Amino acid sequence: MNSLEIDKLLARIDELKNTIQEQEQIIKSIELINSSIDLEVLLNNLMNTVSTLVNSEAASILLMDEERKQLYFFTAIGEKKDELKKIYLEEGEGIAWWVSLHGKPLIVNDVTKDNRFAKRVDSITGFVTRSILCVPLTIEGKIIGVIEAVNKKEGEGFAEKDVRILTSLSYSAALAIHKSQLYQNLNDLFLGTVRALSSAIDAKDPYTHGHSSRVSKYSVMIAEELGLPKKEVKRVELAALLHDIGKIGISEKILQKEGTLTEEEFEQIKRHPVVGAEILSPISQLSDVIPAIRHHQERYDGNGYPSRLWNDNIPLYARIISVADAFDAMTSDRPYRKHFPEEVALKEIELNKGLQFDPLCVEAFIKAYSKWKRKEGKL
């Protein structure tokens, strides 16, 4: 073998090494893309992956709004990502629309020389686009959007290697997005069913109309103020919506009684957390919220029911709901009394910090409620 042949062989080996490294990067990227069903997390993973693999300044995903016949920036990374999310591209506008209509990748390494480029986007964001690589996102033969990599950092511009990388990612990305959207739709349907159920429970007593919905809102405020992850905030919301489901088995005569409850009647009321937990126990998807439903009437000092749990032995979700539930009960009319003014209810909540309620949950609620009032212009 002469020196020329050896050089060719070495060059071929280097080429194969680069191809193997490229494929390894793509496989790792696909694993990262599929590591979450949370659409926001998934797309952020994808954007960072795209930018790293093709060495671009920015990257974005535009999804198709079928009803409005527009492409919109669903997620992006880069200097102007927040401004981008406010922009919708009309049908036929921009390189992204060209790719979605033709269903094939496109490299434009000098956008000033291509009349398909939508100058409006740069004029709105103040970003300066030099080059674009755009690839369609296709699922079951249908284009649901596009991936864009913007401004190659080094070299003469985007190349076929970048097209290969982005195209390799696009199918997995489209599938993951589709899966995440289906999950979100199912989750929305489930939550809608839960809301309808909680409304039906509240309807047993006209005095508590909207109670579960308000308790859910206050509970979410507390959970967010405590800094709980989004997934846990959703679980708190769900638990709060269902916290009184056990009342479905209590007579309206007891729920709506204007006078003092007898000891036997109060014992029936006290059973509703346990009954609620038992009703929901066959539903495996609710296993992590059932303890909150069972224990939302416990007291921080250990004098609550049904199990006389105390302090941090009470599940956190239950401690959150306890504050929200008490505040709504005090600020709503009841058969036996009129509602308290908000300031009186807030003072009562604070006075019972460390007794009936977890101090951290009380502080979080007071802060969150004050922020909400300011936002609504009520302070």
**What are the residue boundaries of the structural domains of the chain, listed by start?**
3-181, 203-375
Give the pLDDT score at 151.
Answer: 95
Query: Amino acid identity, residue 148?
Result: E
pLDDT in tens, 327-339: 999 998 777 678 8
**What's the farthest any 2 CA atoms get from each other in the chain?**
106
Q: Which long-range contacts (CB under 8 A, 24 or more apart) does 283-292 make?
A: 285/190, 286/238, 286/242, 288/235, 289/235, 289/238, 289/239, 289/242, 289/317, 291/315, 291/317, 291/318, 292/236, 292/239, 292/240, 292/243, 292/317, 292/318, 292/320, 292/321
How far apart, in whole angstroms, are the C-alpha atoms of residue 205 and residue 227?
Answer: 34
116, 122, 127, 133 alpha-carbon torsion, rounded to 10°: -20
- Whether 3-181 and 203-375 share one fold: the answer is no
Question: 3-181 has which CATH code?
Answer: 3.30.450.40
Give the pLDDT score at 359.
Answer: 98
pLDDT in tens, 72-112: 988 888 877 788 878 999 999 999 999 999 999 999 999 99
Overall fold of domain 203-375: Hypothetical protein af1432 (1.10.3210)
Residue-level pLDDT, tens digit, the chain, 379 residues:
566 655 555 555 555 455 545 545 544 555 555 555 566 777 777 788 888 888 999 999 999 988 889 999 888 888 777 888 789 999 999 999 999 999 999 999 999 999 999 999 999 999 999 999 999 999 888 899 999 999 999 877 999 989 988 888 887 778 777 777 777 777 777 777 777 777 777 676 655 678 899 999 999 999 999 999 998 999 999 999 999 998 887 777 887 787 788 888 888 889 999 999 998 888 888 899 999 999 999 999 999 999 999 999 999 999 999 999 999 999 987 776 788 999 999 999 999 999 999 999 999 999 999 999 888 766 5
